[in-house]
Amino acid sequence: MSGSTITPWVVGNWKMNPMQANAQQWVEDFTQLLKEQVIDSQSCRIGVAPTTLALLNIKDQLKNSSVDVMTVAQDVSRMAGTGAYTGDISAELLKDSGIDYVLIGHSERREIFGDHPQILNAKIKNALSAGLTVIYCVGESLEQREAGQAEAVVLQQICDIAAVVETEQWKNIVIAYEPIWAIGTGKTASPADAQNMHAKIREGLIQITSEGKNTAILYGGSVKPENAVELAACPDINGALVGGASLDAKSFYQIAHAFAQSK
């Protein structure tokens, strides 16, 4: 079932980049590009996920943008509220600071930092309970794909969170499909392969929730201006979670423009 009527999302995941001065310059450059040629928020929802250190500075700078640009946290604590949890930031603290969106389940969090399903479920439950919108990342490794397990792995990752997402909360879930073998490698799943997986994800979502047909499913994995138009043309690819290319304001603008034009 096509999700082509869904407003696309294009979100830049800056990961552990850049230095503060470069982040400030990025905002100046990007807001200037938006001023010169507006991307209507009805055509594409745009967001950036800076480091925790930069979240509030970037949010404050983006207030001057001619277009609403979401500020997205890269992660959230599995612990709720406040307390003696050194180094963590809870969903409630994010919400209190005006941050309404968060990435959860990125493969780097899963693989490097050990975020297994139980931890991810705690994060998602807390985030949704605090009123955040969750961009939940799923994806398979190269070994899993070559073994023919890609669809099963990705659908299981979606099923993993079903136990903690209440019926009315699914409207606050966005899915980001990122094949691990395509993240930061320069390799990209072909548009046909990406569309096929996105269609399978949508089928799975529809079996879990009535919101499945309306859920935005983003593609991530070496998205760049050169492949954005072709990816945006796929009916079940409702946007992009952009890594390295999002650190360049012009490249990120071009990707957002490509998806805005596809609507």
132 and 94 Cβ atoms separated by less than 8 Å: yes
Give the Cβ contact number of residue 176 at 10 Å: 25
Q: Encoding tokens for residue 218?
A: 């983003």
Catalytic residue (choose from 92, 108, 178, 198):
178
Q: Is 215 helix (H, G, I), strand (E, B) or coil?
A: coil
**178 included as an active-site residue:** yes
Any residues with CB less than 8 A from the CB of 63 and at least 6 apart, and which?
A: none
250 and 258 Cβ atoms separated by less than 8 Å: no
What are the backbone dihedrals phi and psi of residue 131, each rounded to the nearest 5 degrees, phi first? Answer: 90, 20
Catalytic residue (choose from 106, 140, 198, 257):
106
Cis preceding-peptide flag for 18 (omega within 30 of 0): yes
176 and 220 Cβ atoms separated by less than 8 Å: yes
Q: How many residues does the chain have?
A: 263
Dihedral of CA atoms 86, 106, 226, 4 in degrees, nearest 10, equals: -120
Pairing of strands 45-49, 217-220: unpaired
Catalytic residues: 106, 178
